[in-house]
């Protein structure tokens, strides 16, 4: 079975970071970007890369963990903890999902709980205490790609060749719109109303609701 990488997005404070994360994810061979909580996010900074990336949605961290464990996938927290290992030592053994903390507070207790191990990015200068979450993600995903031996993309001049836009994804990669899931999503919407990467106005028809836009013409 081929080694894969995933990125788990949960409670990131700046909503535009999801779009930039998607850009890095496509550059470094990520299989899926997993959203936990509400579906909406702002695609600013993605430069069209969201069309080349699979998305999956879960209402809770435990649901996301179950999905990843069914695929024999480790969950790696990107955080400076007592037992964290330097990411450049490549402490990976199989497919891995990377969970990055909130820019201000890092990983929460619930996020720490589902991780199998932790990595950190060594710093050599004294001007900052930490990196922006998208910068950290890029470094970690690149290091995993090196370890996994992902084939380098073909270049044309001074840029890499972008693949043809894939056929539209189906809603099968998302939670079904059952009555229970709608109730659960409304509950999450209230609980996480302050999460900056979701629609700030709580408007389900917002232009930031990219996932619904991707699948607007698909009926269950």
pLDDT at 220: 32
Longest Cα–Cα distance in the chain: 53
With b meaning 16 or more CB within 10 Å and e meaning fewer, what string describes 82-113?
A: eebeebeeebbeebbbbbbbbbeebbeeebee
Rounded alpha-carbon distances, angstroms, from residue 140 to 22, 66, 187, 206:
14, 23, 33, 32
CA 161 to chain centre: 23
**Residuewise pLDDT in 10s, the chain (220 residues):** 699 999 998 866 555 677 788 888 999 999 999 988 866 655 544 545 566 688 898 989 999 999 999 999 999 999 999 999 999 999 999 999 999 877 678 899 999 999 999 999 999 999 998 888 889 999 999 999 999 999 998 888 998 777 776 655 443 333 333 445 555 556 655 654 444 433 333 344 333 333 433 333 333 3
With b meaning 16 or more CB within 10 Å and e meaning fewer, what string describes 14-30?
A: bbbbbbbbbbbbbbbbb
Look up the CATH number of domain 5-160: 3.40.1280.10
pLDDT at 170: 40
- CB of 102 closer than 8 Å to CB of 13: yes
Cβ neighbours around 31 below 10 Å, total: 19
Sequence spans of domains, the chain? 5-160
Q: What is the pTM of this model?
A: 0.74
pLDDT at 67: 97
Q: What number of residues does the chain have?
A: 220
pLDDT at 101: 76
User: E strand or H helix at 6, and its extent?
Assistant: strand 5-9
pLDDT at 171: 37
């Amino acid at each position: 079975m081929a080694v894969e990488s995933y990125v788990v997005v949960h409670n990131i404070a700046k909503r535009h970071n999801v779009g930039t994360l998607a850009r890095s994810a496509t550059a470094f061979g990520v299989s899926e970007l997993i959203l936990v909580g509400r579906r909406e996010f702002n695609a600013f900074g993605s430069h069209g890369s969201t069309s080349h990336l699979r998305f999956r949605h879960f209402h809770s961290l435990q649901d996301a963990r179950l999905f990843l464990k069914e695929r024999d996938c480790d969950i790696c927290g990107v955080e400076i903890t007592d037992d964290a290992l330097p990411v450049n030592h490549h402490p990976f053994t199989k497919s891995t999902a990377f969970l990055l903390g909130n820019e201000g507070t890092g990983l929460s207790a619930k996020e720490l709980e589902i991780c199998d191990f932790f990595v950190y990015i060594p710093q050599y200068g004294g001007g900052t205490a930490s990196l922006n979450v998208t910068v950290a993600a890029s470094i970690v995903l690149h290091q995993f790609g090196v370890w996994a031996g992902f084939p380098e993309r073909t270049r044309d001049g001074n840029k890499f060749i972008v693949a043809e836009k894939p056929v539209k994804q189906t809603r099968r990669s998302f939670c079904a719109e059952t009555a229970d899931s709608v109730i659960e999503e409304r509950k999450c919407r209230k609980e996480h109303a302050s999460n900056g990467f979701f629609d700030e106005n709580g408007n389900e028809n917002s232009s930031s609701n990219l996932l619904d836009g991707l699948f607007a013409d698909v009926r269950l």
